[in-house]
Structure 1
Amino acid sequence: MKRITRVSALLIVTVVFLTGCSNRVFARLTKDTSGKSAPALDTLRYDSLMTRLANGDKTGKWPVKNAPYPLPGAILPFNRIVAYYGNLYSKNMGVLGQYAPKEMLAKLKGEVKVWEAADTLTPVVPALHYICVTAQADAGRNGLHNLRMPFSQIDKVLDMAKEINALVFLDIQVGFSTVKTELPLLEKYMRMPNVHLGIDPEFSMKEGSVPGKRIGTFDADDINYVTGYLSNLTKKYNLPPKIFVIHRFTKRMVTNYKDIKLRNEVQVVMDMDGWGGPELKKGTYKYFIAQEPVQFTGFKLFYKNDIKNAPHRMLTPKEVLSLKPSPIYIQYQ
């Protein structure tokens, strides 16, 4: 991930499908103990929770107006998600790949408890957010400047998630490719009730720059393709709503946000992905997430990069929860 200060310093101030994979999580979120379909959505509670997430916002932007209610079985806003991000082949891309599985899962469970204590009214669900398509400086065999992880590695992440009844997010860095090319390749995983999606505009190189040289971009059209694709899957396979995370730390990373189409089969999270000191991160969240509302918000915390420079500390859960709106998706890298 690139440092927030790329942009102007003034501006920034699961079959469960896997046998037993997440019986508790999936049953809790989508079915009752008898195996019947989830009850109708409690819209009064949903509205109350969305107002609570707005956290006293005075701009009138939150909660988002005219957003559709999700289908029954929706995870958000009834739960907060705390995710570990990374790739199994790299210790430098995030905490998910930095430690041996048992140690990593124990650390994640510890963070879940921290967030449960910080907001006792919101249950916390753990997640593994795995970069399954990584952008590359080298064009590679496919000429697309990306590397698709073997399914065997994705399966390992699913197995790890099973141990703690966690959700799984598969994250795509398209490089010179497109979401229309990459997403269908993952359909067998997207059909699983416990598997959700993330995309990273930073590495969508529409202008032909090598990944890492410039910050990429996705348009509302790209995002609408994804929500349409996920919506069709949920209807075809009778799945609960999918969560769709979009990383962002500059304005240009997501263009024409007002044209993003919300659907009741998909829950869209705009995730603040920049690193730096507390005030820098809060400024980025304010300008690029809170001021361009889509549906839900997320916030990424970096164990290493956030403490590189003074004041050499990460934001605390209390500080993150005090943001307007409060993030419902938390990611650690």
Structure 2
Amino acid sequence: MRLHIPLTGLITGFLVIHVFFMWMEISSCNSIQEELAAPDSSRMPEKPGPQVQSRAIGADSLQLDTVLYNQILQHLVNNHPTAKWPVRTDYPLPGAILPFKRIVAYYGNLYSAGMGILGALPADEMLQQLQKEADRWQQADTVLPVQPALHYIAVTAQRAPGAGAKYRLRMPDKEIDKVLALAKSINAIVFLDIQVGHSTLQEEIPPLEKYLSMPDVHLGIDPEYSMKNGEVPCSTIGTFDAADVNFAVDYLAGLVRRLQLPPKILVVHRFTQGMITNYKMIRTVPEVQIVMNMDGFGGPAKKLDSYKGWITNQPVQFTGFKLFYKNDIATGGHLMTPTEVLQLYPRPVYIQYQ
């Protein structure tokens, strides 16, 4: 859990929460004050096809390769399908990225080194390191081409109420534009992440529409900071219901249909049961590809338990897994390797580094 502890200027704090016999997470949370001037800085068949043969595929195809789609789904479950996996959904529209590529993303905010690797290193060094990670993943699984990504927190939860008492801060366009430019320089895609605080997705997604209307820009939503109980962000773990996720799905699907875009990806963060309620009611549609991303940190055993409990055992569509350069080690674990992560069932198609 990422917690805000005000100091001065741009601040990241840490707080430890102990939960008996449950997941324990410690992580950074921004405290960017709103008063501060922004510094520069068709349905899937019941039996998928045979084992996939390695070949690259672009995300700009005019026709979906359904045979390859089914083969890759088999690869993701290591050719051991179950009643739950692979998830049976309608085929995506042509141009879909998933599951044809594995996304490897760097997460964070340009204002804060503590919120993730995206803002912790100088831009050139950060991009070089991301490309090295992408190469490691490509070597670990030669079946799926790797797609680099920058996952930018565009709306950050705050411990102070700020303007409108929404306990969130929207990043200025010029900062989002910087991330888009960095992504373009390495042919990466972009995710804009939302931490609503006391606001809602209905309020926070529309202001990002000009960016979400771009083919290579996708969305992330973080229930950890959705404080439906009215508490201060980071004082407790927040929650989204299926209805919240479905709003995001419907909004993105509307953009795809209206602007004739390739499918959008929606990343939903999760590391506890309560972060997502009524998961069986989450809708899948051809225009949007949903990734449930296990984003808790700690030792490998704890991370694997959370992945099995709330991702594997509560399937939606695709899966993701987050790796923390600092916190996985600081809490007594180690940074899991691509080979270790690829032992998960199912294999995640979205990898996020913080």
Q: Which residue of 1 aligns with 2:71?
A: 48
> Is the alpha carbon distance of 1:4 and 1:274 closer, same or farther for their aligned partners in structure 2, counting shifts above 3 Å?
farther
Q: Which residue of 2 aligns with 1:328?
A: 349
Letter in 1 for 2:58: R
Q: Which residue of 1 aligns with 2:289?
A: 267
Aligned equivalents of 2:98, 2:307: Cα separation in 1: 20
> Is the alpha carbon distance of 1:43 and 1:84 closer, same or farther for their aligned partners in structure 2, counting shifts above 3 Å?
same
> Is the alpha carbon distance of 1:309 and 1:11 closer, same or farther for their aligned partners in structure 2, counting shifts above 3 Å?
closer
**For the Cα contact (< 8 Å) 1:146–1:173, is it kept in 2?**
yes
Aligned equivalents of 2:283, 2:316: Cα separation in 1: 9
Question: Is 1:209 matched up with 2:221?
Answer: no
Q: Tell which deviates more after alignment, 48-57 or 217-226.
A: 48-57
**For the Cα contact (< 8 Å) 1:55–1:323, is it kept in 2?**
no
Letter in 2 for 1:9: F
Aligned equivalents of 2:220, 2:268: Cα separation in 1: 6
Q: 1:190 aligns with which of 212, 228, 234?
A: 212
SS of residue in 1 equivalent to 2:156 = strand
Task: Count how many residue pairs are aligned between Structure 1 and Structure 2.
Answer: 310
Letter in 2 for 1:320: V
Question: Is 1:39 matched up with 2:51?
Answer: no
Q: 1:160 aligns with which of 159, 182, 202?
A: 182
Aligned equivalents of 2:93, 2:188: Cα separation in 1: 21
After TM superposition, where is structure 1 displaced by more than 6 Å over at least 4 residues in a row?
A: none
Q: Tell which deviates more after alignment, 1-10 or 249-258.
A: 1-10
Aligned equivalents of 2:74, 2:288: Cα separation in 1: 20
Higher helix share: 1
Gaps of 5+ in 2: 3-14, 25-56
- Cα deviation, residue 57, structure 1: 4.8
* CA deviations over 1:181-210 (Å, ceiling 9, x no partner): 000000000000000000000000001010
- Cα deviation, residue 325, structure 1: 0.3
Q: Which residue of 2 aligns with 1:28?
A: 58
Q: Tell which deviates more after alignment, 53-62 or 262-271.
A: 53-62
Aligned equivalents of 2:199, 2:126: Cα separation in 1: 31
Q: Which residue of 1 aligns with 2:320?
A: 298
Letter in 2 for 1:178: T
Aligned equivalents of 1:138, 1:144: Cα separation in 2: 9
Aligned equivalents of 1:129, 1:59: Cα separation in 2: 31
SS of residue in 1 equivalent to 2:106 = strand
Aligned equivalents of 2:131, 2:62: Cα separation in 1: 29
**For the Cα contact (< 8 Å) 2:23–2:302, is it kept in 1?**
no
**For the Cα contact (< 8 Å) 2:59–2:96, is it kept in 1?**
yes
- Cα deviation, residue 309, structure 1: 3.2
User: Structure 2 matches for 1:1-333, cutoff 5 A?
Assistant: 1-2=1-2, 7-9=19-21, 28-30=58-60, 38-57=61-80, 59-65=82-88, 67-310=89-332, 312-333=333-354
Letter in 1 for 2:290: V
Aligned equivalents of 1:198, 1:309: Cα separation in 2: 26
**For the Cα contact (< 8 Å) 2:74–2:81, is it kept in 1?**
no
SS of residue in 1 equivalent to 2:72 = helix
Q: Identity over the aligned pairs, expressed in percent?
A: 57
Aligned equivalents of 2:215, 2:271: Cα separation in 1: 29
- Cα deviation, residue 10, structure 1: 5.7
SS of residue in 1 equivalent to 2:301 = helix
**For the Cα contact (< 8 Å) 1:4–1:276, is it kept in 2?**
no
- Cα deviation, residue 243, structure 1: 0.4
Letter in 2 for 1:241: P
SS of residue in 2 equivalent to 1:287 = helix
SS of residue in 2 equivalent to 1:243 = strand
Aligned equivalents of 1:118, 1:90: Cα separation in 2: 31
**For the Cα contact (< 8 Å) 2:158–2:169, is it kept in 1?**
yes
SS of residue in 2 equivalent to 1:226 = helix
**For the Cα contact (< 8 Å) 1:278–1:313, is it kept in 2?**
yes
**For the Cα contact (< 8 Å) 1:82–1:125, is it kept in 2?**
yes
- Cα deviation, residue 54, structure 1: 1.8
Taking structure 1 as the reference length, the TM-score comes to 0.90
**CA RMSD, aligned part only?**
1.7
SS of residue in 2 equivalent to 1:92 = helix
Taking structure 2 as the reference length, the TM-score comes to 0.85
**For the Cα contact (< 8 Å) 2:99–2:349, is it kept in 1?**
yes
- Cα deviation, residue 83, structure 1: 0.1
